[in-house]
Structure 1
Amino acid sequence: MKNLITTFFILIVISGQLYADNPSAAHKKITLNLTDTSEILVKGYIAPIENTGSNFHVEWDALANLRVAEPEKQHPTSVFQSFLPNTPVSVGELWALDATGVLTLLKQLHPKPNLFLHINAGDSYGFWACLRAYNAQYADIVFRIHAEFRLEDGWFTPSQFTGHLIIDRNREKVAFFEMYVPEGVINFDVNWKQDENDSHFHTTTGFCSKIELRAGNQELLESIKFTETITQEVAERALIHKFYKSERINWVPPEQVLEMVEAQQKPIHAVSIDGPLVDESC
């Protein structure tokens, strides 16, 4: 996945410091399940693309006309079972999602989703979830999915899909669901094969203000008082570690490094990077 940024910067790391893969403490494990048989109305939306680096959103019809495949669709509750773990989990614990349900939901956005990215250096593939919080009635699951859409003559690759699945533990039903591409200066890249006789793809990046699926009212998520919890930031950090080993390094701002070197008596490793290390495909 690619969010190309041409800024030049330097990161400095103190040798030997890595973040743990899993921030979970020794919390009580709970079982998550969905037995409700009702259907869930999911609304989908893809905003018109108004910005790409090389004006592809004007010149390439497939990108200019990219819209949600089904603005509304009834999904069986069983689709969301794919987001749940097969065994009891504690707050902060991670698990891989089942591809079947993920693909079903992505097809509401576009008929040709792909979870096995066409450009993958080994650190971009996957779909993971984390139990962020729970109380006696609700559980909040945060997830990160890397996927793309096959367009006519090319590929549309968002930076990531993230979101929340709120489970009503007592009634074992979906209380709220959202899956979306986060905002940013750049939040997708595209590969366009402009000439069918040419084996090469032309690449650029761009911004789309809204790509999302949603069911229920977000006010529920904001109003719940959880008893066992980690912050959203901690959950997101745990998830990104499943994709990018570079994120496990404790990168140190230059203004702090000399103080840390003196205190820890460790060597400095200075790394020069032309662009970000995450959510990139080239």
Structure 2
Amino acid sequence: MSLNIDRNVDLAVFTSFKHGRAQLEMALKSLGNEGLFLFSSLDTNNDLYISPEEFKPIAEKLIGVTPVFEFEEEETLDPSGETLSIVAKFQPLVMETMTKSKDGFLGISHIALSGLRNWTAPAAPISMMFARQFKAFLPPKNKIELGDPWWIIPSELNIFTGYLSNNRFYPPVPKGKEIVIHKLLSMFHPRPFVKTRFAPQGAVACIQAISEFYYIVAFRIHAEFQLNEPPDFPFWFSPGQFTGHIIFSKDSSHVREFKLFVPNKRSLNVDMEWLYGASESSNMEVDIGYLPQMELESSGPSIPSVIRDENGNVMDSRDPAGEPIQFVFEEINWQREITWEEAAQKLEVAMYPFKKVRKCLCPATWQTNLSCFVPGSGRTLRETVLESSPILALLNESFVSSWSLVKELEELQRQNEFYSRLADLHLEKYNFPVEMMICLPNGTVIHHINANYFLDITSMKPEEAESSIFSFSTNFEDPSTATYLQFLKEGLQRAKRFLQT
């Protein structure tokens, strides 16, 4: 008897023989697929026994108690230090932008999306914070050059480590520099995961401007939220990125300005995944959508909690007329700076090394990956072949590389004749979910392969792949890298006859 369990769910304990096949079959027979899934989500140590501590989350859910998260203690903050007010602004996901999860479509129920539908406002519209809490954004001593990126929270995942479990409800206890980012993101929703399930994780930053006493630090954060709690199935809400900047003193005692936001310029900016049962007929569901607004912004510069006169005596915070004392802040004269666009590009390349591929001076071809911004295949490509040194070298030498959303190409079809024709050429060759294309500068597609097919053939045994249109090179141990490299080289070869005519 084989266990009929969703392959996307992290139930390694049930696929091992640690407890004996008879026990597993008995558990499946007693609980059924759905019950076994719920049991496994609570059995955090995989011992086939639910302890009182493991049962606590569902008990709190049933009796209406909000779980209290423990946090690693931050360093002691001076109570007289400067404080600032952070304001959260949030507009919920536009449900109509979801591509396939309309009510009743493909069996998607209202319950499956309840966590998403109920999230209509920030969890904490305003929060008072100490300026010193933003110390995590200060550059290390060896990173004081403009645009030189560093990791605030390093990514711990790569092609070898794989990804973290989907079957989780509550974030791990934040530590170190994770604490302030967790605190900020918790203003949107009570269950932020500072480290995403998939690479690249973490947060990266760079200096955008320097003055004698101040920095502007630009940052980019990859984080996600868990919108559901037991007994519902997990629902992951993953914005494309959080980005922003902070203007603060070099000792972080004063914050002049802070802003964090999810970019909303593109037509789709959120990835969603949720577990929808545990049978083969109800695997992980995925969708995409548009979030109009998700941002945090300081209401003004940080100000002292306690005001002292020139002799160090505590003063009243109001003047004789009863009005609050107004602070005057000096103008900052920036000595060196780069543009926001330059800083954002540096951060993007730090997260995605394949973005180093040049954007101009293309001698022959234009390599474009068309993506619906769906997880799985597109993300798999970014985490595998597009992190390979041989692939990056060839792309940088002979290609201009870019990614496009299908929806954006459809919008181009409604523009002038030139853009419409280019969009038509790409969409004509596109198949769900991701299509890799090699094109001439005029948009002619000379070679393409679907990501699902690509993953199928690279998962074959070498002897099985010999009969396919691709064969594995002996120069690379990784079939994906070898196959993608061959795909690029074949495209270059096909381009030659077009350029010779």
Deviations 1:36-73 (A, max 9, x none): 82222111122122232234599411111223111111
Counterpart pick for 2:334 among 226, 230, 241 = 226
Counterpart pick for 1:70 among 97, 120, 124 = 124
**1:130, distance to aligned residue in structure 2 (A):** 0.7
- Given that residues 175 and 216 in structure 1 are in contact (C-alpha distance below 8 angstroms), is that contact kept between their aligned partners in structure 2? no
Find the structure with the greater CA-based Rg.
2
**CA gap 1:202/1:235 in 2 versus in 1, 3 angstroms:** same
**CA gap 1:54/1:238 in 2 versus in 1, 3 angstroms:** same
**1:109, distance to aligned residue in structure 2 (A):** 1.5
Counterpart pick for 1:148 among 221, 224, 230 = 224
- Seq. identity, %: 25
One-letter amino acid matched to 2:286: T
**CA gap 1:92/1:276 in 2 versus in 1, 3 angstroms:** farther
Q: Which ranges of structure 2 fall in alignment gaps of 5 or more residues?
A: 1-76, 104-108, 153-176, 229-233, 302-330, 381-501
Deviations 1:158-192 (A, max 9, x none): 00000010114588311110110001211101112
Counterpart pick for 2:214 among 130, 138, 145 = 138
**3-state SS of 1:116 partner:** coil
Match of 1:96 in 2: 151
Counterpart pick for 1:271 among 338, 342, 367 = 367
**1:237, distance to aligned residue in structure 2 (A):** 1.1
Distance of 1:56 and 1:135 partners within structure 2: 51
**1:132, distance to aligned residue in structure 2 (A):** 0.3
1:192 aligns with 2:274: yes
Q: How does 1:1-282 map to 2 (within 5 A)?
A: 37-50=81-94, 51-55=97-101, 59=110, 60-66=113-119, 67-87=121-141, 89-97=144-152, 98-118=177-197, 120=198, 122=199, 124-152=200-228, 153-169=234-250, 172-183=253-264, 184-195=266-277, 200-217=283-300, 225-252=333-360, 257=362, 261=363, 268=364, 271-275=367-371, 281=379
Distance of 1:278 and 1:206 partners within structure 2: 10
**CA gap 1:171/1:274 in 2 versus in 1, 3 angstroms:** closer
**1:269, distance to aligned residue in structure 2 (A):** 6.0
Deviations 1:90-109 (A, max 9, x none): 22222211322211211121
One-letter amino acid matched to 1:42: I
Higher helix share goes to which structure? 2
- Given that residues 244 and 278 in structure 1 are in contact (C-alpha distance below 8 angstroms), is that contact kept between their aligned partners in structure 2? no
- Given that residues 79 and 104 in structure 1 are in contact (C-alpha distance below 8 angstroms), is that contact kept between their aligned partners in structure 2? no
Match of 2:165 in 1: none
The count of aligned residue pairs is: 230
Q: Which ranges of structure 1 fall in alignment gaps of 5 or more residues?
A: 1-33, 262-267
| RCO higher in structure (CA 8 A, sep ≥6) | 1
Higher strand share goes to which structure? 1
**3-state SS of 1:251 partner:** coil
